[in-house]
């Protein structure tokens, strides 16, 4: 394989070619339109934004190949999107299949220069299915190519002929020559088709902002511009510090303990860049990537880092006399408490684990990351003894705190036996009758009155009820040992039955779903945030396993005025639904639910607890780094970042008086 230029050390690369024959066709564009979920996951907002990433990934590939230094993304007023780079430009000659190469790229699934040959050795686009999917799910798409001194253009559209036959992403022009140019690159403009994305084709600015900023962090020197013509918002991202700058950004709202530690290595055509920094918190966050694509499931690169770091730190601890011969080694979770880490791998022939492709499986990544940490961390510790002692002291304190938390947890767990069960639960939990944990659900309910209605209205076979007396403490500002002493959290930990913190065992969980059910007001929202912070910090595998939900109770009951006992009625979950119901039913009575306690057991069952009719939100973490930063901003000690976030994100004109 060709050697790649290390963008941090300036090593000379061997040039790879990028021609028409480097575009490989693996599969025809079939059934994308009819089954979009198979290709972009969903036709919701996430799937809509996936269309943008398919094009952006191609531009990032040009940067990874050392040919592009700039990417522009523009959201137009008509909700079309432009992505433009200054790379080499898509080849414009005839492909070996006999049609123009751009037409191959945008009409053939999995066609592109990233599946072998000389086109790309390192590609983020391995994660996707190609620009053709963006074309297939768009109303129209235009590509302009600046290459070999000329400007080429081609347009594709979705249309239906007189015979009723669909033409998906079909070329409506040939590859035209518009004129001459002295620049290079590719410009793609497309408009998502509202017939596919029926909920909305409105691209949200914030997800683009966050992901493009992330890409800029991971690709030192790459300049990315985002412009929204609908609002005149514009932002430029360019960072020379790579992963080091990324870690500083993620720790911005925290109290840090030392300067960022930053390592790089290139070996066997694999580039490793990692950076980490400790803060005074109690949790670790690892944001890992391969070719700028997030690996939310971790993988071999994370394993290599953790294994090597634990080994090197324990070796140094013994050498420095922090650990005596009789002392047991410090555990990895203790050594990484409060650590913020970014790992970015750039490599070819990427292997993923499973269908979701969010977990790296390439064995070589573990080997090279292990080698990088082993070599460079050993040197760092010798050259920075004060930081080394600080990190070890923090780890020793973490070990002591973990022992204290374990003792407190054992006291809670001992309550599962005999009479102490009712004491440990405070008589609050109303358990499900079934022992089938794959079907059981735990409702954590705000207030005793709502808890009473939930107990009466529930399916007693599979649904357990745990009412909360009030707001629990802020878990972001507490150690696990303190959490274990808090009644509300202790009840939750004992009910779920899987422990907490580093000792949490998902397989021991007593429920398939944990459902937070609070009033639809500010206090209810605050309780939701506190509980979600608790689950994120101390039971994160529950969220990763899609077991945490937020119940969505209705805001209104609209009943048609009638002398009959069974008058038609409808529940509404928003003001818009309420207005629609009024139009539908005519002369009505409107009941506004101010709290769960206002519903009788039957109403609570049919609106919020019945699996056939209820509305719930699944809690998911799409981006670990973003989630970490958001939790720290909203729930941490620093007030100024929280004020800035509120000013930037809350529209006080829409808050009810």
Task: Give the catalytic positions in this structure.
Answer: 446, 519, 521, 523
**Rounded CA separation 538/630 (Å):** 16
Residues 244 and 275 sit within 8 Å (Cβ to Cβ): yes
SS3 of 31, please? Answer: coil
**Rounded CA separation 527/531 (Å):** 6
What six digits make up the tokens of 234? 């514009």
Contacts of 532 (CB under 8 A, 6+ apart): 516, 548, 619
**Rounded CA separation 267/269 (Å):** 5
Residues 138 and 55 sit within 8 Å (Cβ to Cβ): no
- Neighbour count for residue 182 (Cβ, 10 Å): 6
Residues 226 and 246 sit within 8 Å (Cβ to Cβ): no
- Neighbour count for residue 501 (Cβ, 10 Å): 24
Q: Is 184 left (phi over 0), alpha (psi -120 to 50) or beta?
A: beta
- Neighbour count for residue 580 (Cβ, 10 Å): 14
Residues 16 and 2 sit within 8 Å (Cβ to Cβ): yes
What six digits make up the tokens of 176? 């035209």
**Rounded CA separation 558/562 (Å):** 12
Please name the residue ranges forming H helices in 414-479. Answer: 420-425, 448-457
What six digits make up the tokens of 82? 């432009």
**Rounded CA separation 192/471 (Å):** 44
Question: Between vectors from CA 146 to CA 83 and to CA 202, what angle results, nearest 5°?
Answer: 15
**Strands of 463-468's sheet, edge to edge?**
463-468, 441-446, 513-517, 548-551, 616-618
Q: Sign (positive/negative) of CA torsion 42, 44, 47, 48?
A: positive
What six digits make up the tokens of 126? 């391995």
**Rounded CA separation 269/272 (Å):** 10
Residues 120 and 65 sit within 8 Å (Cβ to Cβ): yes
Q: Sign (positive/negative) of CA torsion 425, 428, 434, 440?
A: negative
Query: How many Å is the maximal CA-CA distance in the chain?
Result: 86
Contacts of 218 (CB under 8 A, 6+ apart): 242, 243, 246, 289, 292, 344
Pairing status of strand 70-75 against strand 223-228 = parallel
């Amino acid at each position: 394989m060709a050697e790649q230029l290390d963008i941090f050390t300036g090593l000379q690369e061997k040039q790879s070619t990028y021609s028409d024959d480097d575009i490989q066709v693996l599969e025809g564009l079939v059934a994308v339109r009819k089954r979009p979920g198979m290709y972009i996951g969903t036709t919701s907002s996430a799937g809509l934004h996936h269309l943008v990433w398919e094009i952006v990934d191609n531009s990032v590939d040009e940067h990874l190949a050392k040919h592009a230094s700039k990417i522009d993304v523009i959201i137009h007023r008509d909700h079309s999107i432009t992505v433009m780079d200054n790379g080499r430009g898509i080849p414009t000659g005839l492909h070996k299949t006999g049609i123009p190469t751009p037409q191959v790229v945008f009409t053939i699934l999995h066609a592109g220069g990233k599946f072998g040959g000389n086109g790309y050795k390192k590609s983020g686009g391995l994660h996707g299915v190609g620009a053709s999917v963006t074309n297939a799910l768009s109303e129209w798409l235009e590509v302009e190519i600046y290459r070999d001194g000329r400007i080429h253009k081609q347009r594709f559209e979705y249309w239906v002929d007189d015979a009723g036959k669909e033409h998906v992403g079909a070329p409506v022009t040939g590859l035209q020559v518009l004129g001459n140019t002295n620049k290079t690159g590719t410009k793609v403009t497309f408009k998502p088709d509202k017939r596919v994305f029926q909920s909305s084709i409105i691209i949200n600015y914030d997800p683009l902002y966050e992901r493009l900023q992330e890409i800029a962090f991971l690709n030192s020197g790459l300049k990315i511009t985002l412009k929204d013509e609908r609002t005149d918002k514009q932002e430029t991202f360019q960072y020379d510090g790579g992963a080091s700058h990324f870690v500083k950004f993620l720790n911005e709202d925290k109290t840090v303990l030392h300067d960022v530690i930053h390592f790089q290595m290139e070996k066997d055509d694999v580039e490793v860049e990692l950076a980490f920094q400790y803060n005074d918190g109690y949790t670790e966050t690892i944001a890992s990537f391969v070719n700028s694509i997030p690996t939310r499931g971790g993988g071999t690169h994370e394993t290599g880092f953790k294994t090597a770091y634990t080994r090197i730190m324990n070796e140094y601890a013994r050498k420095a006399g922090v650990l005596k011969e009789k002392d047991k080694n410090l555990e990895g979770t203790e050594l990484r408490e409060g650590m913020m880490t970014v790992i970015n791998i750039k490599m070819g022939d990427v292997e993923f684990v499973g269908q979701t492709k969010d977990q790296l499986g390439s064995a070589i990544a573990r080997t090279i990351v292990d080698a990088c940490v082993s070599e460079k961390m050993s040197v760092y510790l010798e050259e920075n003894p004060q930081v080394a002692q600080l990190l070890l002291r923090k780890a020793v304190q973490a070990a002591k705190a973990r022992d204290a938390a374990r003792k407190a947890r054992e006291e809670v767990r001992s309550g599962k036996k005999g009479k102490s069960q009712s004491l440990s639960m405070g008589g609050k939990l109303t358990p499900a009758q079934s022992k089938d944990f794959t079907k059981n659900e735990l409702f954590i309910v705000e207030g005793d009155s709502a808890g009473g209605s939930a107990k009466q209205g529930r399916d007693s076979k599979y649904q357990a009820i745990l009412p909360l007396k009030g707001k629990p403490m802020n878990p972001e500002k507490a150690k696990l040992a303190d959490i274990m002493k808090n009644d509300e959290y202790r009840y939750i930990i004992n009910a779920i039955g899987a422990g907490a913190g580093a000792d949490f065992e998902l397989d021991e969980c007593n429920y398939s779903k944990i459902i937070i059910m609070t009033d639809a007001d500010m206090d209810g929202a605050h309780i939701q945030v506190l509980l979600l912070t608790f689950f994120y910090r101390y039971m994160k595998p529950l969220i990763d396993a899609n077991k945490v939900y937020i119940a969505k109770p209705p805001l209104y009951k609209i009943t048609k005025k009638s002398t009959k006992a069974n008058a038609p009625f409808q529940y509404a979950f928003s003001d818009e639904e309420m207005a629609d119901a009024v139009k539908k039913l005519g002369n009505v009575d409107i009941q506004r639910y101010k709290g769960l306690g206002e519903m009788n057991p039957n109403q609570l069952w049919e609106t919020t607890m019945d699996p056939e009719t209820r509305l719930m939100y699944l809690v998911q973490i799409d981006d670990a780094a973003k989630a970490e930063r958001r939790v720290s901003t909203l729930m941490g000690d620093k007030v100024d970042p929280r004020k800035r976030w509120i000013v930037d994100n809350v529209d006080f004109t829409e808050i009810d008086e």
